[in-house]
Amino acid sequence: MELEIQQFILYLENVKRTSENTRVSYERDLRKLRHFLNRQSVEEISAITTTNLNSYILYLEKEKFAPSTISRNIAAIKSFYHYLTKDGKVAYDIAEELKAPKVEKKAAETLSEREVEILLQQPNLDTSKGIRDKAMLELLYATGVRVSELVALKEIEVNLQLGYITCKDRTVSFDSEVEKVLKTYIEHARRELMGEKETECLFVNCSGGQMSRQGVWKMLKSYAKKAGIETDITPHMIRNSYAKAHLR
């Protein structure tokens, strides 16, 4: 079986052009399978049965490997047998019926209402940057848009009078509190940050260019630290917190 594993890894590298990470993990998983089969005195590819493969999966479950790890092992075995069948090394694919365990989805991480409240209080509204940051944070939480959508917003896509933004192919509303800080940002802080530059982008950095996703990430991390929020906060958590608040 060792020879077939080596040939399979070369096939992944030279024909399928898979990533090195995938090749390394598949090779490791298949060698674990080989060691398991060897202990059962099964050494040749032709001697392996569906029962042997199912026994290996049961062994992984009994040893309390994570469902994600077991699923990865099954993926490696399936890919291996697909190659063996295609190359004529085995008569038929005995791994086809292997079933991956269900992976329980983790509950979405969110901030508490109090944490959100403290976070939104962090920007310094005496500075143009602080006003911009406040507007971004408020808009993120009030609308649940993605960071990529936030930084791509154009000024003309904001309707302050009716309280909504046009985001791709949909409109998303916001309340009067968000309207106030957005108005202050657009009418005063944005112009100061832009300086002599001209741009359609709603949110600009301190050099007058478009805000980046990385810039929003750093800003969020900085304010979370300042607020004493110990959770490893991410922009996606703001979206989850929005969803939680609006599904009650």
- Taking CB atoms within 8 Å and a gap of at least 24, the contacts of 176-180 are 177/138, 177/142, 178/135, 178/138, 178/139, 178/142
Judge if 241 and 127 occupy the same domain.
Answer: yes
Q: What is the pLDDT of residue 165?
A: 94
Give the per-residue pLDDT at 107: 54
Q: Pick from 211, 214, 229, 243: which is nearest to 145 by CA? A: 243
Q: Do 185 and 128 sit in the same domain of this protein?
A: yes
So what's the pLDDT on residue 105? 57
pLDDT of residue 159: 94
pLDDT of the residue at 246: 54
Instruction: Give the chain's domain count.
Output: 2
Residues 177 and 141 in one domain: yes
pTM of the model: 0.56
**How far is Cα 175 from Cα 248, in angstroms, rounded to an integer?**
18
Q: Which parts of the chain register pLDDT below 70?
A: 101-108, 242-248
Report pLDDT digits (tens) over 126-161: 999 999 999 999 998 888 888 999 999 999 999 999
- Domain CATH for 164: 1.10.443.10
| C-beta neighbour count of 133 within 10 angstroms | 26
Which of 95, 4, 84, 25 has its CA nearest to residue 56? 95
Please return the burial class of 113, using the count of CB atoms within 10 Å of its CB with bins 0-12, 13-18 and 19+.
exposed
CA distance to 77, 90, 236, per residue, from 85 (Å): 12, 5, 43
- 63/164 same-domain check: no
Q: What is the CATH number of the domain that holds 41?
A: 1.10.150.130
- Whether residues 180 and 238 fall in one domain: yes
**The pLDDT of residue 215:** 92
Q: Is residue 165 part of a domain?
A: yes
Q: pLDDT tens digits for 90-111?
A: 988 999 888 876 655 555 577 8
Residue 81 lies in domain: 2-86
In a shared domain, residues 214 and 120: yes
Q: Which residue in the block uniquely carries the two structure tokens 């090195």?
A: 20
How far apart are alpha carbons 119 and 140 in whole angstroms? 12
Is residue 188 domain-shared with residue 236, that is, in the same domain?
A: yes
Which residue in 240, 226, 248 sits closest to 140, CA to CA? 240
